[in-house]
Copies of this chain bind each other. A is one copy, B any other.
Amino acid sequence: MRVQDTETADGAHPVVASGEQQSALHLWVVMSRAHAAIALHAAADVAQHGLTLAEFAILEVLYHRGAMLLGEVQRRILVSSGGITFLVDRLTVKGLVERRSCPSDRRARYAALTPQGESLMAEIFPEHAATIARAMGALPPHDLQRTAESLRTLGLYASALPEKRSASQQRDDGGSE
């Protein structure tokens, strides 16, 4: 942490932050880069079959966990409510997914793979898994697991954390309930 230098010639400001903040900032940058770099490989892989990453994520979750409600899929792959409708529509047009009504709740719909969706996933998933593993070839499995554990902790914590608001916007919204 030798960022104590003042005013550099070209007008750059040193990063001023506590050690803890610096670690977090650095991790944020590095995580963004790593995620983007790997996403590029993943996206290129599924694009060979005319799919976006979001579409593939839906197919994958339906393939590995079976049919589920649209809202459930939405929460799992983290898209907006409009997004899940849009994506399932598109996958339906492609003949890979179909909607099924839910007998116990007439508002709800299931998303499920069609036979074509099943066979497509059976065909392309192994290759996709290999692509991801290849993109992550920089570290041995043990390190990948250790890193995944840390990121899992970070992700769960950040998801549960309420959004902070700036002092100027802070307003009482009831708190509990």
A contact residues vs B (CB 8 Å cutoff): 1, 3, 8, 10-21, 23-28, 30-42, 44-45, 48, 63-67, 78, 112-113, 121-123, 126-127, 129-139, 141, 143-148, 150-159, 161, 163-166, 169
Q: Are B155 and A33 in contact (CB under 8 A)?
A: yes
Q: CA separation between A67 and B12, bound complex, in Å?
A: 8
Bound complex: CA A151 to CA B150 (Å): 11
Please tell me if the beta carbons of B139 and A34 are within 8 angstroms of each other in the complex.
no
The interface residues of chain A, by DSSP majority, are classed as helix
B12 with A65: CB separation less than 8 A: yes
Q: Is the CB of B35 within 8 A of A31?
A: yes
Contact with A67, one of B11, B45, B67 (Cβ below 8 angstroms): B11
